[in-house]
Amino acid sequence: MNEENMDGTNGCSKVRTGIQNEAALLALMEKTGYNMVQENGQRKFGGPPPGWEGPPPPRGCEVFVGKIPRDMYEDELVPVFERAGKIYEFRLMMEFSGENRGYAFVMYTTKEEAQLAIRILNNYEIRPGKFIGVCVSLDNCRLFIGAIPKEKKKEEILDEMKKVTEGVVDVIVYPSATDKTKNRGFAFVKYESHRAAAMARRKLIPGTFQLWGHTIQVDWADPEKEVDEETMQRVKVLFVRNLMISTTEETIKAEFNKFKPGAVERVKKLRDYAFVHFFNREDAVAAMSVMSGKCIDGASIEVTLAKPVNKESTWRQHLNGQMSPSPENLIVYANKEDSHPKSLGKPPTLPARLNGQHSPSPPEIERCTYPFFPGTKLTPISMYSLQSSHFNSAVMHLDYYCNKNNWAPPEYYLYSATSQDGKVLLVYKIVIPAIANGSQSYFMPDKLCTTIEDAKELAAQFTLLHLDREHSLFSLDLCRRIWRK
């Protein structure tokens, strides 16, 4: 216990009383001039601060703070976060017991102050041995709606969502990879605010709400990724979606080279989307404006600048406090010619669906060891009784996924080749017996590895990402996670 929260009069450790808390908070309010109010499970300090005129700060000014000691409150936290700049609003999530819930949101008056808070306070030792985490807060205004009839058009989905929820701004619907006259069975609904999206989710989430006679699946869509403008100014890669599966990398390269021969460095295609790399950024920007909306092999394509993936370890938190895994590391690996096998990112956490029901991604399991004391009771357990979050390996995820869907285990076939410098290179072909007679009989990545472990892991990652959507019961959730706008 921190000394500030001890009663030192009798030498006994004692949690600060409610009266002491109230006195400390009143002193903070008197010192700063900010108001404080508690409502809906959170305590708001400021919002707006004294003397503030005009609208609230724009998007990007708020940070998320996690791993806060449960007995720490605004009188200790606010002075720490004021080091980065002027606080517009501090929201501390509270329990009924009076303790905080371990996390808070801090809104600054400018984006620069928010970025400074992340730089100087992420992993800050707030108390001896207690380190907080600080990252950008994603004000999510989008919902993922699954199990939508595939014959429904965008206009029909938009009209229906406006009827059953309020504040709908737009819906994003993607055509099927195999039949462009149908949608993919899901849509992203954009709302005018996070509050509107949250209220819609609350109405739709019970699992009994139906659209067109179908029970829909509802979850938060991954928020739009925030990439600073300076980084985006250096991007020279285009993200192209809505391609035909049959369209080749050679065709894409030829089409994008038409406006300026030789401008394209390389193309990497993954199912019905691709990354087009240019030698120069100016050519990439010009090609984006020229090619967006063009038809390639009968499909009208969408073209945007690709958003770089932050390779550092970051929290991708939802407002419910859960951590959201992402397969973006795999996309980057598959997209780089010069990637070394050891740069393989952590395999994506792909939740299985049991009996057709969506299983939300659980929080990431902390990877560490604990002492094994003599007499500790051990209980036999099957790996298939665990949650998918207990697996860190894509190989284990694939086995787990097949078992949960009552499929036979995946079959691995090892092949080798020799590099120009004489090295033995390895690659695995994976066969899923349950779908081997379908449109795709096997899965094999287009990268060779120098070790058997890397080859097997890469093949499993590739298979999980590319399982045919007609057979993949987790495909809606996977598509939601890799979607970027």
Note the pLDDT tens digit of each residue in 210-262: 888 878 888 888 766 666 677 888 899 999 998 998 999 999 999 999 989 99
pLDDT at position 6 is: 39
pLDDT at position 476 is: 38
Same fold for the pair 142-220 and 393-471: no
To the question of domain 142-220 being in CATH 3.30.70.330, the answer is yes
* 393-471 CATH choice from 1.20.910.10, 3.90.1300.10, 3.30.160.20, 3.30.565.10: 3.30.160.20
pLDDT at position 23 is: 87
pLDDT at position 469 is: 40
pLDDT digits (tens, 9 = 90+) for 401-433: 887 777 788 999 999 998 888 889 999 999 988
State the architecture of 26-136 in CATH terms: 2-Layer Sandwich (3.30)
User: Which segments in the chain show pLDDT lower than 50?
Assistant: 1-14, 311-366, 468-485
pLDDT at position 174 is: 86
Per residue, the 3-state secondary structure of the chain, as one string, reads CCHHHCCCCCCCCCCCCHHHHHHHHHHHHHHHCCCEEEECCEEEEECCCCCCCCCCCCCCCEEEEECCCCCCCHHHHHHHHHHHCCEEEEEEEECCCCCEEEEEEEEECCHHHHHHHHHHHCCCEEECCEECEEEECCCCCEEEEECCCCCCCHHHHHHHHHHHCCCEEEEECCECCCCCCCECCEEEEEECCHHHHHHHHHHHCCCCCEECCEECEEEECCCCCCCCHHHHCCCCEEEEECCCCCCCHHHHHHHHHCCCCCCEEEEEEECCEEEEEECCHHHHHHHHHHHCCCEECCEECEEEECCCCCCCCCCCECCCCCECCCCHHHHHHHHCCCCCHHHCCCCCCCCCCECCECCCCCCCCCCCCCCCCCCCCCCCCCHHHCCHHHCCCHHHHHHHHHHHCCCCCCEEEEEEEECCCCCEEEEEEEECHHHCCCCCCCECCCCCECCHHHHHHHHHHHHHHHCCCCCCCCHHHHHHHHCCC
230-309: CATH superfamily: RRM (RNA recognition motif) domain (3.30.70.330)
pLDDT at position 475 is: 38
pLDDT at position 364 is: 41
pLDDT at position 21 is: 79
**Residue spans per domain, the chain:** 26-136, 142-220, 230-309, 393-471
pLDDT at position 132 is: 94
pLDDT at position 18 is: 65
